[in-house]
Structure 1
Amino acid sequence: MGLLWKRLIIFLVFVIAVLQVIHMILLSRLESKRSERQKRTKNNIFNEDVIAVSDYKDEDIESDRKAMHEMVKHTTVLDSSGEYHIINFFSRAQSLGPRNHVRQDISLVTQTSVSQIYNLDLLSNRWHGLASVTVFALFQDIPLAIEMILLLRRCYPSIRRNTSFHLVYPLSIPKPAIGATTLSPRLSISIITKEENCDRMQSLLKMIESNAVNYGHLGIAYPNNLLRNVARRNALTDYVFVVDIDLVPNDGLYEQFIEFAKQNKLFTEDRKKEKVVYVVPAYEVNTLASVDIDEKLETIEQLIPKDKSQLLRQIELMNARPFYIELCWKCQKYTDYENWQKHKSQKMDILFEVLWRDPWEPFYISVNTVPYYDERFRQYGFNRISQVCELHMSGYKFSVLNKAFVIHKGFKTADSFHKEKDLELERNRILFRQFKTQLKDKYPESSRRCY
């Protein structure tokens, strides 16, 4: 009897060993197939992008150029003030197709002057989803704006695939000041979209920045909130992430939020009705020892942390710090950066909630049904905080995400602003006082106030 049990035990041990070997072989094959599939996917993406560049042929560019010029000739849509022309879908993302139906997805929403549009190349490298971008241009600069959009679409298949451009330009034409120019005359429009210029796109686009200031439009007010609203209204997704053009999200933020949204069923009708926005902490990185305009984009991108561990390392080295810490710390401090930096997580989730306090103006992800921006705010000051203030008054909660962040390229300092900034700030401060009074009438049942 004992001998029989011994033989049975040996047999079972043998069977278990064989099963373990089979299991290891199957796992090895599965991993091999997965690696091959990933490699094939990466190669396909690379090949698609290479093919896509060559697929955007000269005749396609000419067709798109002609279509955009025709839109400018025939546009009749004005903003509520009657001072600005609006062209929705000046250039449409290919992945949207012809239909304007809203998707269970998230769009990055931003706005830019012609001088700052070069920021889209790095932004598109980090954001892998849909984007809705409003471009502001003076009438005489529209031909150059068109060429820049065409260049970005040619050199970046991801931009052509995922980014829709909209155009806003003023009815009035500013009187040129003595010796003033709006954009650099060194840039030749006739050659900008040639394929070989993709290698030196940064230097071409940065030529424009050197002779143009984002808010300095020779007497024409920069309508930042109008631009944000135009981009938001044309974002055909349930959720939006409104950021400034010179901010860069952490790598993978799009994919991480989509996973978070699916796990928490944020795309269901009940969850979309909840009054909550998802705060994304903002930082700024020192880029003074940056690169010349002719150096490659990868060199610039290496300065921008890709994930939270890299960001924390940059903070230790004093190369990164919370956004606006030098100029308006109280505008950002309620994000509670110290608490956020202490926590490490494997997957995206809500870390904590923050009660809004004046003058906090966080960047956040939200459903695309939150209150729009007040378009009376133009130029510098109170344009974002007025909208966040209304979120607070109307009952929204502010939930801070644990892994998400955005980076501003360069430290914000007092000397980085245009000379009219203080006058604009004072004008908008007076408007903001009026705006807060109007919110009391708009939300009479709310016990919250913007102070």
Structure 2
Amino acid sequence: MVSALCYWRLLSRISVLDAHNRSQLNRSPYSMPRVLSVDSLTHRAQGRDEGALCETIHLSLVCMGQCTRHITPMLKSLLHHRQNPLHFHLIVDFASEKMLNKFFDTWDLPDVKYSCYNAQYELPKVAWIPNSHYSGVYSFFKLLYTDVLPKSLEKVIVLDSDLTFLSDVAELWSMFKNMTDEQLLGLVENESNWYYEADRWPALGRGFNTGVMLLNLRKIHTTTNWTLLWREAVNFNIKKLTKTSLGDQDVINAIIHNHPQIVYNIGCQYNVQMSTQTLAKNCYGQDMRSVKIIHWNSPRKYAVDVKDADFFRNSHLFYVNIDGNLLKKKLHRCYTPEIATTSLNNSSNLCVSFHAMAHAKLRTHIYYMDYAYNQIDAFDVTLVLQLSMDRLHFFERFVKYWEGPISAAIYLSDCELKELEVFIQEYSSTLSMRRNIGYHLVFKHDSAHYPVNYLRNVALEHVNTPYVFLMDVDFVPMGDIYQHLRQAIKLTNPYPQKKCLVVPAFETARYRASPPRTKMALLARLRAGRGRDADVAPFRLQEWPKGHRATNYSRWIDATKPYEVDWEPDYEPYLVVHRTVPLYDTRFSGFGWNKVSHIVELRAQGFKAVVLPDAFVVHTTHAPSAGIVAFRANKYYRICLAQIKQEFLNDLTRKYNVSFDIVSGKKKYDEYADIAKNLFLNEAKDGV
């Protein structure tokens, strides 16, 4: 569940916005943001004819580099107020294209389409222009829209990423019909005296701000040579002014200065600019609720200190914290066909919720923080982890002892994002200086068990080294384990021989115990204690000996070279394996058999288990997870888990033509196996 702190933050935003709503009942329904309500949005839809509601609105923005986390609050605010189907035209580079595909595919929004246009190779067309804007060459990209967007696209609303919508974007879209034949662009006047100052690019009066722009592409293609227009403007002015300060905004204002007939003047409330020298107060006066779109165009962005900034910042924070899953509700019925996706909400019984996870989409944001790691060779290995926010301190501890690349999937809610950012960037000196950690965020869904294997797959799919170290976060590794594993990979050559390298797992039962960092220290601790009073012991030796017994700890103590062991039922070691390893089965969510199922499939594929003689990890004790509590307390949870095991083994039998049984020798896997098998057979007879 979302933490109490998150709810408190969100409710505090809602209470303020709701109070504003009540005070403005007699105003336009588009005058300010309101708490997300499908009923209220449906009511708003009744005021417009079905044809207008079903018209697709085309929107475009530049999203290059590490942009995705910056555009999310803007998208939430836009989606909150929209009623129409939307089509986003996203200008991307190689890095952001991968992020955005995952972002939109897993968000799975109704009546929303998107197209990506990789414009990496278009940037040289504008890279030659001298520029001092903090966005660098990306600040010129609005000059290239006619080159990149398809000729079939007639009109589009171009948006900056630093906006907060307080009204329906359809209001902007409707303005296209008001433009004359000569008007190619729709813009809001610049709300500062910037262009009145000396050594500025030419502009009409205060000039125009390009953060919100109506672009009639059909008219531009048929009536002008856009490329010639902007090149002439640049070449003429650059001789005197030497560089641009505001990127494409300077150039577009110079074009408008020479051709004033091409611009349609949009009302100021559709681009209220929060710059350090803003004159926006002249636009809305005392009526802050008349603002339609806030533009955070200061270099300080949401930290800008200007009049009324706190009021507008409150609206921005509302959209930072709001659960993005709420925006997946369909607001109306149009001609747009429904896409059938697996729902996690239709979970009338526990077993249905397990099965739903096999095909569920959870909103996923890959590479949330800056990532850079390219020094890869044939023996490199990435640490693959999954965790929830309450395990961040474990994650930080592991990172201290792992210098190599990491791919970490983190399960969290929207209102925990700020907490994550602060922890990484400000609280932890260990994490703040690392750039070889891929943070992949998976957002919570209240109807799902903890999606442990879904998270593992997200982390596993976004690895760029040949090998992966599949681990859990609540361990401490031996000293210098990264270099040790690289050397082991080099010596054993696992991939062509289908070998999985087993890293033996131990545990300490004492909360404040310092885990051993060398094999010599580990062996000394093992010999110093025996039985339940041992300071260090093989992992889960008492609670679940089958989980790691096959590692053969007695042999490992004296081993000096790798040795092969047999796969045994319920074996779940921690492995180093090639990244082409099969993904985890996502039916196993919550506690139970989530790692074992993966090991069983490796066995079915013919992998061998080879134990490394000098590598190890040590588990440190902590409170049991919610999944373990549910497993222990709920009989039906255990029965459903046994049913999933049976289904999984049957699937493997068909897939790999191998034989599995839920019994091992004369002993059953667990006491619920027969019950689960009968449930499964009854479902098959009924055609369920």
Q: TM-score range by the shorter chain?
A: 0.5 to 0.7
Aligned partner (choices 61, 73, 76) of residue 104 of structure 2: 76
Aligned partner (choices 410, 413, 427) of residue 138 of structure 1: 413
CA deviations over 1:63-114 (Å, ceiling 9, x no partner): x9986253476531329734410111112433349xxx88641000000001
CA deviations over 1:232-275 (Å, ceiling 9, x no partner): 111111000011110121111111121232344x3xxxx52321
- Structure-2 residue corresponding to 1:162: 436
Query: Helix, strand or coil: the match of 1:91?
Result: coil
- Structure-2 residue corresponding to 1:376: 587
Structure-1 separation of matches of 2:500 and 2:432:
28
Structure-2 separation of matches of 1:246 and 1:227:
16
Cα pair distance change 1:155/1:103, threshold 3 Å: farther
Deviation at 1:118, TM superposition (A): 1.3
Query: Helix, strand or coil: the match of 1:160?
Result: coil
Cα pair distance change 1:441/1:65, threshold 3 Å: closer
Q: Structure 1 stretches of 5 or more lacking a match?
A: 1-63, 175-218, 291-299
Query: Helix, strand or coil: the match of 1:407?
Result: strand
1:440 lines up with 2:440 in the alignment = no
Letter in 2 for 1:163: I
Letter in 2 for 1:77: D
Aligned partner (choices 377, 387, 394) of residue 598 of structure 2: 387
Deviation at 1:427, TM superposition (A): 2.3
Structure-2 separation of matches of 1:72 and 1:262:
46
Answer whether contact 2:450 2:627 (CA < 8 A) is retained: no
1:118 lines up with 2:146 in the alignment = no
- Identical amino acids, percent of aligned pairs: 26
Cα pair distance change 1:263/1:392, threshold 3 Å: closer
Q: Structure 2 stretches of 5 or more lacking a match?
A: 1-64, 76-102, 108-357, 529-533, 665-688
CA deviations over 1:114-159 (Å, ceiling 9, x no partner): 110111222112112111101001233233233323336x612686
CA deviations over 1:392-439 (Å, ceiling 9, x no partner): 111110000000111101289x89975312334442221011100000
Q: 1:165-244, aligned counterparts within 5 Å?
A: 165-170=439-444, 172=445, 174=446, 220-244=448-472
Letter in 2 for 1:338: S
* Structure 1 or 2: more helix by fraction: 1
Structure-2 separation of matches of 1:158 and 1:256:
25
Q: 1:50-449, aligned counterparts within 5 Å?
A: 68-71=69-72, 75-78=103-106, 81-96=359-374, 104-151=379-426, 155-156=429-430, 160-170=434-444, 172=445, 174=446, 220-264=448-492, 266=493, 272-288=495-511, 290=512, 303-317=514-528, 318-343=534-559, 345=560, 349-350=561-562, 352-410=563-621, 418-422=628-632, 423=634, 424-444=637-657, 446=658
Structure-2 separation of matches of 1:106 and 1:407:
20
- How many residue pairs are counted as aligned between the two chains? 314
Answer whether contact 1:68 1:146 (CA < 8 A) is retained: no
Answer whether contact 2:400 2:430 (CA < 8 A) is retained: no
Deviation at 1:327, TM superposition (A): 1.4
Letter in 2 for 1:421: F
Answer whether contact 1:110 1:132 (CA < 8 A) is retained: yes
Letter in 2 for 1:395: G
Answer whether contact 2:505 2:538 (CA < 8 A) is retained: yes
Letter in 1 for 2:426: L
Larger of the two Rg values belongs to structure: 2
Answer whether contact 1:315 1:321 (CA < 8 A) is retained: yes
- Structure-2 residue corresponding to 1:199: none
Letter in 2 for 1:68: R
Query: Helix, strand or coil: the match of 2:380?
Result: strand
Letter in 1 for 2:535: N
Letter in 1 for 2:367: F
Letter in 2 for 1:405: F
Structure-2 separation of matches of 1:142 and 1:158:
16
Query: Helix, strand or coil: the match of 2:421?
Result: helix
Query: Helix, strand or coil: the match of 1:89?
Result: coil
Answer whether contact 1:108 1:131 (CA < 8 A) is retained: yes
- Structure-2 residue corresponding to 1:10: none
CA deviations over 1:43-76 (Å, ceiling 9, x no partner): xxxxxxxxxxxxxxxxxxxxx9986253476531
Letter in 1 for 2:415: Q
Structure-2 separation of matches of 1:338 and 1:254:
25
Structure-1 separation of matches of 2:472 and 2:433:
17
CA deviations over 1:328-370 (Å, ceiling 9, x no partner): 1112111111111133x4xxx41x1111110111111000111
Structure-1 separation of matches of 2:471 and 2:639:
24
Query: Helix, strand or coil: the match of 1:112?
Result: strand
TM-score normalized with structure 1 length? 0.64
Structure-2 separation of matches of 1:112 and 1:151:
20
Answer whether contact 2:379 2:486 (CA < 8 A) is retained: no
Structure-2 separation of matches of 1:157 and 1:432:
38
Greater Cα shift, 426-435 or 143-152? 143-152
Query: Helix, strand or coil: the match of 2:467?
Result: strand
Query: Helix, strand or coil: the match of 1:76?
Result: helix
Structure-1 separation of matches of 2:498 and 2:491:
18
Letter in 1 for 2:456: R
Cα pair distance change 1:238/1:405, threshold 3 Å: same
Cα pair distance change 1:103/1:68, threshold 3 Å: farther
Answer whether contact 1:77 1:87 (CA < 8 A) is retained: no
Cα pair distance change 1:418/1:334, threshold 3 Å: closer
Answer whether contact 1:132 1:235 (CA < 8 A) is retained: yes
Answer whether contact 2:66 2:368 (CA < 8 A) is retained: no
RMSD: 2.8
Cα pair distance change 1:332/1:135, threshold 3 Å: same
Answer whether contact 1:392 1:448 (CA < 8 A) is retained: no
Greater Cα shift, 233-242 or 309-318? 309-318
CA deviations over 1:299-349 (Å, ceiling 9, x no partner): x7xx01101111111212321011111211112111111111133x4xxx4
